[in-house]
Amino acid sequence: MVITMNESCCCTICSEQAAGADAPAGFPSIGAVNIEPDYEPNVNVLNMPVEPLLATDAPDIDITSLDFGPFKQVELSDKAVFDRHFMALNPQISDLTFSNLFMWRNMINFRVAWFGGFACILAIPRAYPPYLYAPVGDVAGDPAGFSGAVVQCCDFFRANGWQPRFRCVPIDVVPALTRLFKSCECEEDRDFYDYLYLASDLIELRGKKYDGKRNHIKRFTRQYEYEYVKMSPAHIDDCLRIMYDRCVENDCDCLRGVEYACDRQPSAELLLHFEALDCRGALISVDGRFEAFTVGEALNRDTAVIYIEKANTAITGIYTFINRQFAEQEWSSMTYINREEDEGVPGLRKAKLSYHPVKLIEKYTVTCK
């Protein structure tokens, strides 16, 4: 669906009328993470070659020469500020967590500026044109502040010769955003809808619709000696090995230096900092060897979000087993579990739908003409 809007344009509002740049304490630049995971072959996934230019379907942008102005890099020390900001808003989409910004901060080149009470999140990925999240704050309670933050974002994009584009816009923010533009397109971004499940459904797997899932688990538990283990820093190398093995199995382009080919690098970032990020994780040991792991955290007051789930696909039922066990052991107090998007991958979409989500969390892309 494409909606063309024709109302007063926010770009006509003078920049002096925009919200002031009242930011939390400054954002110092990030240092390079350097870690050598202990597995064979010894691959440093956090020191993969970084391509400064976007892929061929996006404008050529040398990020090393850009003046980012008020947009600062994301650091681990910023977590407390973002957590307070996000949790006060009770976010529903999986994108609005500090862990998400932190783990993808290098691959997607996330930057953040604070305009008034709004966090403005800039992304310059290597596979897509630059985009922004809609300013994050009290949109309904401070419409003038929201409008001012949008102006600041559009001014920054136009100064760099980019078309203002907002992605992952929650459906409840779409009206407030589109009314500010004289002309814009609002498109459904189905590939990035989040899948929301009842935690009780994933734990209990009740009813005929889950017969196949229960059978997978029965086969797994009958065939293997297994153990569920809560994640600790001692398990990180095993998790890195599991991810590497999956990339080898799939002949992933990341093994040939194409950094944006998969999520191995950002997943490694999350693993290496999962305690500092207040995430929870677990592994499954099969016949004495770790063969699966998963990581998640609280998204809001009644919802958990699962960031990573990796397993040895040769072991029948292991994905179904770790999915249920993690929900039961770590998230039984939550009402919902958000398992993020399918990115338009047919197999992933089929798998996520097979768990019968109670809702798809809609997201939209708004492009200013």
Round to whole Å and give the CA distance between 355 and 366. 30
| Whether residue 211 is found in the same domain as residue 144 | no
Predicted confidence (pLDDT) per residue in 285-336, tens digit: 999 999 999 999 999 999 999 999 999 999 999 999 999 999 999 999 999 9
Domain closes at, from 130, 160, 192: 192
| Whether residue 274 is found in the same domain as residue 157 | no
| Whether residue 172 is found in the same domain as residue 215 | no
| Whether residue 108 is found in the same domain as residue 221 | no
Residue-averaged pLDDT of the chain: 86
Closest CA to 240 of 289, 293, 287, 282: 293
| Whether residue 169 is found in the same domain as residue 241 | no
CB 54 within 8 A of CB 125: yes
Predicted confidence (pLDDT) per residue in 144-194, tens digit: 999 999 999 999 999 999 999 999 999 999 999 999 999 999 999 999 999
pLDDT value, residue 44: 46
| Whether residue 249 is found in the same domain as residue 182 | no
Domain closes at, from 192, 216, 240: 192
Closest CA to 243 of 273, 269, 270, 263: 263
| Whether residue 240 is found in the same domain as residue 168 | no
| Whether residue 149 is found in the same domain as residue 72 | yes
Query: What is the average per-residue pLDDT within 56-80?
Result: 82
| Whether residue 314 is found in the same domain as residue 239 | yes
| Whether residue 19 is found in the same domain as residue 130 | yes
Is 258 inside any structural domain?
yes
Is 369 inside any structural domain?
no
CB 64 within 8 A of CB 75: no
pLDDT value, residue 63: 76
| Whether residue 44 is found in the same domain as residue 188 | yes
Is residue 284 predicted with pLDDT exceeding 80? yes
CATH of residue 295: 3.40.630.30
Is 12 inside any structural domain?
yes
The boundaries of the domain holding residue 79 are 2-192
Is 367 inside any structural domain?
no
Is 172 inside any structural domain?
yes
Is 326 inside any structural domain?
yes
Round to whole Å and give the CA distance between 327 and 309. 12
How would you write the chain as a 3-class SS string? CEEEECCCCHHHCCHHHCCCCCCCCCCCCCCCCCCCCCCCCCCCHHHCCCCCCCCCCCCCCCHHHCCCCCCEECCHHHHHHHHHHHHHHCCCCCCCCHHHHHHCCCCCCCEEEEECCEEEEEECCCCCCCEECCCECCCCCCHHHHHHHHHHHHHHHHHCCCCCEEEEEECCCHHHHHCCCCCEEEEECHHHCEEEEEHHHHHHCCCHHHHHHHHHHHHHHHHCCEEEEECCHHHHHHHHHHHHHHHHHCCCHHHHCCHHHCCHHHHHHHHHCCCCCCCEEEEEEECCEEEEEEEEEECCCCEEEEEEEEECCCCCCHHHHHHHHHHHHHCCCCCEEECCCCCCCHHHHHHHHCCCCCEEECEEEEEEC
Is residue 48 predicted with pLDDT exceeding 90? no
Domain closes at, from 175, 192, 209: 192
Q: Work out the burial of residue 147: count CB atoms within 10 Å of its CB; fewer than 13 is exposed, 13-18 middle, 19 or more buried.
A: buried
Is 368 inside any structural domain?
no
| Whether residue 353 is found in the same domain as residue 253 | yes
- What is the total count of domains within the chain? 2
> What pTM was computed for the model?
0.85
Q: How would residue 60 be classed by pLDDT, with cut points 50, 70 and 90?
A: low
